[in-house]
Amino acid sequence: MNENEPMLAEGGMSRQERRELKRQQRQYAPLFQRRGVRRGLLWAGGFAVLVLIGWGMVKLSANEPLPTNGSGSVLSIPVGPQDNSKGPQDAPVTLVEYSDFQCPACGAFAPVVEQLLKDPELVGKVRFVYRNFPLSSIHKNADLAAQAGQAAAAQGKFWEMHDLLFENQTKWSGLSSSGARDAFIGFARTIGLNVDAFTKALADSAVAARVKADFDGGLQSGVNSTPTFFVNGTKMPHPQSLAQFKQYLTSALNATP
């Protein structure tokens, strides 16, 4: 192990990250209590991850920020048929997330985004696009997980694999590459994929190239941490609460003709 690399604790987080997470849990739990949202209390720990300044769970692990090729405020690669998306293609609001399946903050965001997509005021009005941005320098299984998502997409079940990867993140993050591969093949079996085709796709250079295309597009858009969101092509500020996240989406909705 490089002496500059953080010592990782359970679930792939360094001890420093866990201390910061606990501090954020204490800070943001009252926010949800004041709002009286019982379900929010269940998310208080997870949402604390989301609001680390500059997504500290990523930043704390990296010695240097990733180099970017863009301004960091505008989405460089337009949404197209190559993207993994859910929601109406002609929705007035398009939410694009650059994400890493092994990133704890991304895992905490997954149920938050899902609830927003089901919100009565937003349902049917938001198209959600997931793009791969695996931080393989600090998350050893992130590339393979992204490839697992794309291998599932080839059989029309990206979102089923997306959900299983995040729901079981702590179980596979610390595994060896071969162990993670076996776990992903097990997920493929669970969601009813052709396992032989899935296994072959995991080793397919075209699948790896598809993940790299997402990553390179993120760099062009100025992405250097995960998760990073764009709303209708503009980078979204880091939300400090579920309500603020919703407000960003409703503001974009209200701004459309």
* CA distance readout (Å), 122 to 37, 113, 117, 119, 128: 19, 11, 6, 5, 12
**Residue 93 CA: distances (Å) to CA of 20, 71, 132, 247, 249:** 33, 22, 20, 12, 7
Number of domains in the chain: 1
Mean pLDDT of 142-162: 98
What CATH number does residue 178 fall under?
3.40.30.10
The answer to whether residue 3 is domain-embedded is no
Instruction: Decide if 55 is inside a domain.
Output: no
The residue range of the domain holding 239 is 64-255
Instruction: Tell which residue, 215, 234, 217, has the closest CA to residue 100.
Output: 215
Whether residue 126 lies inside any domain: the answer is: yes
- Residue 196 counted as domain residue: yes
Residue 161 lies in a domain: yes
Token pair 């009565």 in the structure block, residue? 120
120, part of any domain: yes
Average pLDDT over residues 184-202: 98
* Polymer length in residues for the chain: 257
Confidence check: pLDDT of 236 > 80 = yes
DSSP state of 192: T
19-58 per-position pLDDT tens digit:
545 544 454 344 334 333 333 334 434 444 444 433 444 4
